[in-house]
């Protein structure tokens, strides 16, 4: 009896390393994309550090990540970076949220209504082709130097990416599915909810991801004129006094905000369209 117990315990011990390797393999498979992305980021930072330390060797042209982190910690201790980040964050969130709602609603309307499409398409094409960034000083003159003008700039810069992609998603729905739904007696509202809207979800997500980048650019551009706070304002003032550490710190925060926003949109996409996940 004791021999059987000892043999069983020995068998369990021998399988423990195999189970550990299997669990590690499963963990890596489940988070492979994130692990590769993290490795890519760390590799890029290492190359950046090497280039700044031993190749360029001039902080006016390129600041090493370690020096940037030191400067970022100094700005954090004084509370300056928090104030700028909150200001830009509010402008980005409000402007992009309005742009997302208006863009999705407008794109769906243009996709399902031939009359609305005929009336609005010339205007959408015109405004989408207009360099709205160049109009930022005029918009600030109209709406003042407060929050409203920055929100308007962010909205105008990012809304058309969402609108055009949403419209393309509705118009690109499979006609065979639409005809099949009609053949089974589906109403227009049912066709919209069950066929057109699910078909448009990937395009809506793509438009939102494009809009994130444009919205962040809009934040910086809006703060270049008449601002007293914000990451764009910090970039401007830092460049004027050649404080490259603060400049790169502000740019890095904007980049992190873009990555975080894009990942959040992916999470929402998984909830809305789980059938698209590979």
Structural domain boundaries of the chain? Answer: 2-51, 63-276
Whole-number pLDDT of residue 63:
80
Distance between CA atoms of residues 263 and 274, nearest Å? 15
Give pTM, 2 decimals.
0.78
Tens-digit pLDDT string for the chain (278 aa): 555 554 545 455 445 665 555 555 665 565 566 677 777 778 777 887 787 778 876 677 778 788 888 888 988 888 888 898 898 899 999 999 999 999 999 999 888 888 888 888 888 888 888 777 777 778 878 887 788 888 888 998 889 999 999 988 888 877 787 777 777 777 887 777 788 888 888 888 888 988 898 898 888 888 887 778 888 888 888 888 888 888 888 888 888 888 888 888 888 777 776 655 55
Q: Each residue of 6-21: b (16+ CB within 10 Å) or e?
A: eeeeeeeeeeeeeeee
Whole-number pLDDT of residue 237:
87
Please report, for residues 23, 30, 72, 126, 225, the alpha-carbon distance to residue 250 in angstroms, rounded to integers and kept in the order given. Answer: 40, 33, 9, 33, 17
Whole-number pLDDT of residue 79:
84
Distance between CA atoms of residues 210 and 251, nearest Å? 18
Whole-number pLDDT of residue 22:
58
Angle at the Cα of 212 (from 98 to 257), degrees rounded to 5? 110
Whole-number pLDDT of residue 193:
79
Question: For the domain 63-276, what is the CATH code?
Answer: 1.10.3720.10
Distance between CA atoms of residues 18 and 106, nearest Å? 55
């Amino acid at each position: 009896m004791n021999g059987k117990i000892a043999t069983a315990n020995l068998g369990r011990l021998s399988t423990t390393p195999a189970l550990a390797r299997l669990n590690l393999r499963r963990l890596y498979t489940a988070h492979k994309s994130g692990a590769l992305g993290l490795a890519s980021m760390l590799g890029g930072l290492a190359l950046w550090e090497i280039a700044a330390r031993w190749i360029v060797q001039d902080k006016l042209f390129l600041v090493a990540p370690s020096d940037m982190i030191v400067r970022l910690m100094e700005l954090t201790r004084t509370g300056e970076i928090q104030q700028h980040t909150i200001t830009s964050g509010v402008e980005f969130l409000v402007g992009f949220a309005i742009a997302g709602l208006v863009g999705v609603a407008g794109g769906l309307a243009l996709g399902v209504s031939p009359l609305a499409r005929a009336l609005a398409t010339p205007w959408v094409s015109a405004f989408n082709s207009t360099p709205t960034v160049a109009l930022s000083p005029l918009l600030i003159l109209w709406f003042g130097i407060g929050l409203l003008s920055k929100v308007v700039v962010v909205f105008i810069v990012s809304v058309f990416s969402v609108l055009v992609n949403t419209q393309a998603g509705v118009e690109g729905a499979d006609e065979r599915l639409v005809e099949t739904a009609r053949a089974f007696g589906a109403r227009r509202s049912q066709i919209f909810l069950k066929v057109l809207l699910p078909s448009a979800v990937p395009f809506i997500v793509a438009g939102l991801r494009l809009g994130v980048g444009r919205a962040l650019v809009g934040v910086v551009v809006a703060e270049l004129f008449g601002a007293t706070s914000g990451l764009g304002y910090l970039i401007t003032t830092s460049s004027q006094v050649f404080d490259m550490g603060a400049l790169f710190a502000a740019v890095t925060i904007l980049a992190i905000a873009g990555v975080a926003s894009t990942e959040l949109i992916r999470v929402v996409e998984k909830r809305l369209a789980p059938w698209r996940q590979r």
